[in-house]
Structure 1
Amino acid sequence: MSSPGTQVHHLDGIRILDLFAGPGGLDVAAHFLGFKSIGIEWDRNACETRYAAGLPTIHADVSVMRESRFDEIPKSVDILAGGPPCQSFSVAGTGAGRKALDEVIEFIHRLVGGEDEAKIDDELHTLGKDPRTALVLEPLRWLLKAIESEDRDPYNMIVLEQVPAVLPLWEVYATLLRGGEGRLGGVKYEADYWELKTEQFGVPQTRTRAVLVARRPGLGTIEPLEPTHLPFDLHRGKRKTVQADMLPDEYGTRPPEKKHWRSMAEALDTASRLEDSPVDVSRLRTGGQMKFFVVSNYGSGGDPKKRGQRLSSEPAFTVTGKISRNKVYKTAEEYESGKSDRFTIPEAGVLQTFPHNFPWSGNDQAQQVGNAVPPRLGMHVLSNALRGDTPSKEELATSATWPSVSPTTTEELRVIGCGDHLRCPPDSHKVTRAHQRPAP
């Protein structure tokens, strides 16, 4: 086990607490902007990726940390961030959260109004028949906990992201934060929220996110994020992906200040040319040119049998945990014969804008990639929230490569995050009494 001094070194100067941290999309973004963060994550596999990447982590349930281990969060933390699990709100899920939006909004008001939390918890367990729906309330509960704490100041900034269906909840959050009433105890924030398209910020995939940014008064006015790239037009006419010509088309004249959206081919080709890159796209080249098309695992236009298709010269579909099921073809002949390829985990990570050499670890890596916040979008959101500006060209360029992390650092972070496993989520390490360490 590492010494207390080692733990202080890793936790020194941390400003951002990332709830539901996953493999580290927001943490990676924070790193390249020069901010230290610590994440809370319950999935052991995502924690292993974080340890390998050198990201401080607590392997725990977010609710348990708030209820009984709140004092373990470094006092230097003044920024609350996170993306609560989105499955119940997602279009791809059962939609329990979407159906329960009005109920969730009621719970938000009840929490701020000071109603007994034990009673609220009892009702939350059955909310929408999907307990994950209640997790969207956790950022608010962490904020209230900090405000009511005797030895901790309220967070100076809040950054939250979720699927678009959650935007009405962020609107309620923003209204309450501006008012500072009830349990907020007069603590007010300037707050705003937006629906952002990832391809408009240089992410080579189409993905829409609902984002909320809040800052204490005096820390600067919140300005909307200005897109750096053009949106991808999903209605490009009735052309077939398996046509012979798969070169990019220019759809109209773009404003000179906006870049064209970034394509799969450009992102993967650039990553493959970096030193010691695990991204090898030679199999996707024909005659030295990278031209392929992707057939989605999901149905299109409401028809589960009709699979969407994208050209290599276009952004990827939304990268989900099922990205490894998407089929990649180089030619129409391969498509007709059913001879397909798949994206590797490093390639899927690059389409999410993770560094080409990010050390994906543990199991369920495709799910880890799909659950993550695209770091490049995270850089734009955090830069706006924390500094009131946009990432510099140098910061964006640097984000292509992840710094090497020693095995010693990984093990020290694993000790901080998991220790002897006894405080990790139940059964996550399958710890039995025979393997538990004796009490000192």
Structure 2
Amino acid sequence: MAAHFLGFKSIGIEWDRNACETRYAAGLPTIHADVSVMRTSRFDEIPKSVDVLAGGPPCQSFSVAGKGKGRRALNEVKEFIHRLVDGDDEARIDEDLRSLDDSRTALVLEPLRWLLKAIETDGRDPYKVIVLEQVPAALPLWEVYAKLLRGGEGRLNGVKYEAECWQLKTEQFGIPQTRTRAVLVARRPGHGAIEPLETTHLPFDLHRGKRNTSQPDLFSADSGTSGSKQRWLSMAEALDAASKLKGSPLDPSRLRRGGKMKFFVVSNYGSGGNPKNRGRRLSSEPAFTVTGKISRNKVYTSTEDYEAARSDRFTIPESGVLQTFPHNFPWSGNDQAQQVGNAVPPRLGMHVLSRALRGNAPSDDELAASVTWPPVPPTTTAELRVIGCGDQGQCPPDSHKVTRSHRESAP
């Protein structure tokens, strides 16, 4: 998404069939495959012109919202990173990786393995730029990556990178949600040091006052700017603006009171270690981190006895807008809430990629254009599906399996 709005071409490799359907509908070239299989047996299918490696390995095992098995395995994963670069036998490494509690944790090694594959493959050049994203708990791994990339030792065969990693808060880049991510940017020498990203908005104070749970009607919020930075963007501002765009599928009338958008959200997650203590956000504040469970968050417009009030849910287009996807983005397939939550917010991606590839921030015109997605002809979607899925024989196992209920409900 970010590459598209910045004017760069890209090709995706995606395991999840539903995410592929969305990408086909959006006109984004995608191979429906396992990244490990693509690396080991289908690497020649990746065009040699591809010179940027960007990825977001699955975060569930590292996330504070999950069971945290990946966090407990951080030291083990650091050891695996060093073993790969030092030239340890990969078959032995694969066997040891299978002993991890969560097999997805091993996927954080894939970007490094792709880089080594490019370096060791005749007729290929090392990637010029590498951009990786994960939850904050993975920052120590990116720091190990960065140190090794700067050194160029072992299997890196003298290939060195300028490399930096940061924790970034999404609301500081004009995204109407609070979400912190660990990002690594590395690029070959010759383009100067990698400068930190310049934030455009103020941070949101997660501890702003104590709310009275029986009167969650504190709809006022700080406003204005501080110096050259704008105040963070609220849910109400983002949804209201998106609803006014031509052809917008958003109909936020149910979220309005007295002509103004006023609501509050009760999170699906507990806070403070208490699963019953559901967090609350006002419409005049940024959203909680948008996860695959966003459709379970409850939305209320009543300020009186909200426990007895009728709750609503964010629609998929609304959830996408809170992630800074275009209002008309063609979400497709099943598990759309999960697709929304799994994604990197495109606006954050634009800031990161622009810094990595061009050394500057995205322009105002580029950011303004990112609120609308261009129409994609059905013929293009069909062509991309054929290219991405082919005869389905090389897609992940059982990913195209059709259940009886699906057959019975099919037109």
The TM-score by the shorter chain falls in which range?
Answer: over 0.9
- In the alignment, structure 1 residue 237 sits paired with structure 2 residue 209: yes
Report what 2:407 is aligned to: none
SS of equivalent residue, structure 2 residue 60 = coil
**Rounded Cα–Cα distance in structure 1 between residues aligned with 2:348 and 2:105:** 24
**Rounded Cα–Cα distance in structure 2 between residues aligned with 1:334 and 1:278:** 31
Q: Deviations over 1:164-184 (max 9, x none)?
A: 000000000000000000000
| Amino-acid identity (%) | 80
* Preserved CA contact (<8 Å) 1:241 1:310: no
Amino acid at match of 2:401: K
SS of equivalent residue, structure 1 residue 234 = coil
Amino acid at match of 2:59: C
**Rounded Cα–Cα distance in structure 2 between residues aligned with 1:258 and 1:348:** 25
**Rounded Cα–Cα distance in structure 1 between residues aligned with 2:399 and 2:367:** 36
- In the alignment, structure 1 residue 54 sits paired with structure 2 residue 34: no
Return closer, same or farther for 1:314/1:122 CA change in 2, 3 Å cut-off. same
SS of equivalent residue, structure 2 residue 147 = helix
Of 187, 196, 200, the residue aligned with 1:215 is 187
**Rounded Cα–Cα distance in structure 2 between residues aligned with 1:200 and 1:225:** 10
**Rounded Cα–Cα distance in structure 1 between residues aligned with 2:116 and 2:300:** 51
Return closer, same or farther for 1:241/1:265 CA change in 2, 3 Å cut-off. farther
Report what 2:5 is aligned to: 32
* Preserved CA contact (<8 Å) 2:291 2:342: yes
Report what 1:425 is aligned to: 396
Report what 1:75 is aligned to: 48
C-alpha displacement at 1:245, in angstroms?
A: 4.7
Report what 2:58 is aligned to: 85
Amino acid at match of 2:77: V
When the two structures are superposed, what TM-score results if normalisation uses the length of structure 2?
0.96
**Rounded Cα–Cα distance in structure 2 between residues aligned with 1:240 and 1:182:** 58
* Preserved CA contact (<8 Å) 2:132 2:184: yes
Amino acid at match of 1:92: A
**Rounded Cα–Cα distance in structure 1 between residues aligned with 2:111 and 2:43:** 13
Instruction: Map residues 181-192 of structure 1 onto 2, 5 A cutoff.
Output: 181-192=153-164
- In the alignment, structure 1 residue 110 sits paired with structure 2 residue 83: yes
* Preserved CA contact (<8 Å) 2:248 2:327: yes
Report what 2:356 is aligned to: 385
* Preserved CA contact (<8 Å) 2:216 2:264: no
Q: Deviations over 1:1-37 (max 9, x none)?
A: xxxxxxxxxxxxxxxxxxxxxxxxxxx1110000011
* Preserved CA contact (<8 Å) 1:241 1:311: no
**Rounded Cα–Cα distance in structure 1 between residues aligned with 2:270 and 2:57:** 26
* Preserved CA contact (<8 Å) 2:302 2:309: no
**Rounded Cα–Cα distance in structure 2 between residues aligned with 1:160 and 1:249:** 34
**Rounded Cα–Cα distance in structure 2 between residues aligned with 1:173 and 1:395:** 31
Q: Deviations over 1:327-350 (max 9, x none)?
A: 000012361314101000000000
C-alpha displacement at 1:313, in angstroms?
A: 0.2
C-alpha displacement at 1:241, in angstroms?
A: 6.0
Return closer, same or farther for 1:120/1:366 CA change in 2, 3 Å cut-off. same
**Rounded Cα–Cα distance in structure 2 between residues aligned with 1:88 and 1:33:** 31
Structure 2 residue runs of 5 or longer lacking an equivalent are 404-411
SS of equivalent residue, structure 2 residue 11 = strand
Amino acid at match of 1:93: G
Q: Deviations over 1:179-233 (max 9, x none)?
A: 0000000000000000000000011000000000001000232000111100000
Report what 1:16 is aligned to: none
Number of aligned pairs? 403
**Rounded Cα–Cα distance in structure 2 between residues aligned with 1:245 and 1:330:** 9
* Preserved CA contact (<8 Å) 2:292 2:340: yes
Amino acid at match of 2:26: A
Of 253, 259, 263, the residue aligned with 1:288 is 259
- In the alignment, structure 1 residue 138 sits paired with structure 2 residue 110: yes
**Rounded Cα–Cα distance in structure 2 between residues aligned with 1:293 and 1:334:** 13
SS of equivalent residue, structure 2 residue 229 = coil
* Preserved CA contact (<8 Å) 1:160 1:213: yes
* Preserved CA contact (<8 Å) 2:135 2:180: yes
Report what 2:408 is aligned to: none
Report what 1:15 is aligned to: none
**Rounded Cα–Cα distance in structure 1 between residues aligned with 2:282 and 2:23:** 32
Report what 1:227 is aligned to: 199
Amino acid at match of 1:406: P
Instruction: Map residues 260-271 of structure 1 onto 2, 5 A cutoff.
Output: 260-271=231-242
C-alpha displacement at 1:51, in angstroms?
A: 0.1
Report what 2:409 is aligned to: none
**Rounded Cα–Cα distance in structure 1 between residues aligned with 2:311 and 2:278:** 14
Return closer, same or farther for 1:280/1:241 CA change in 2, 3 Å cut-off. farther
SS of equivalent residue, structure 2 residue 307 = helix
Of 200, 213, 226, the residue aligned with 1:255 is 226
Report what 1:7 is aligned to: none
C-alpha displacement at 1:243, in angstroms?
A: 3.3
SS of equivalent residue, structure 2 residue 132 = strand
Return closer, same or farther for 1:95/1:272 CA change in 2, 3 Å cut-off. same
Amino acid at match of 1:378: G
**Rounded Cα–Cα distance in structure 2 between residues aligned with 1:385 and 1:120:** 31
**Rounded Cα–Cα distance in structure 1 between residues aligned with 2:373 and 2:221:** 33
Instruction: Map residues 166-181 of structure 1 onto 2, 5 A cutoff.
Output: 166-181=138-153
* Preserved CA contact (<8 Å) 2:86 2:155: yes
**RMSD of the alignment, in Å?**
1.4
Return closer, same or farther for 1:351/1:244 CA change in 2, 3 Å cut-off. closer
**Rounded Cα–Cα distance in structure 1 between residues aligned with 2:69 and 2:46:** 32
C-alpha displacement at 1:250, in angstroms?
A: 2.1
When the two structures are superposed, what TM-score results if normalisation uses the length of structure 1?
0.90
Structure 1 residue runs of 5 or longer lacking an equivalent are 1-27, 433-440
Amino acid at match of 1:365: Q
**Rounded Cα–Cα distance in structure 2 between residues aligned with 1:300 and 1:244:** 17
**Rounded Cα–Cα distance in structure 1 between residues aligned with 2:50 and 2:73:** 32
* Preserved CA contact (<8 Å) 1:88 1:95: yes
**Rounded Cα–Cα distance in structure 1 between residues aligned with 2:70 and 2:199:** 29
* Preserved CA contact (<8 Å) 1:248 1:314: no
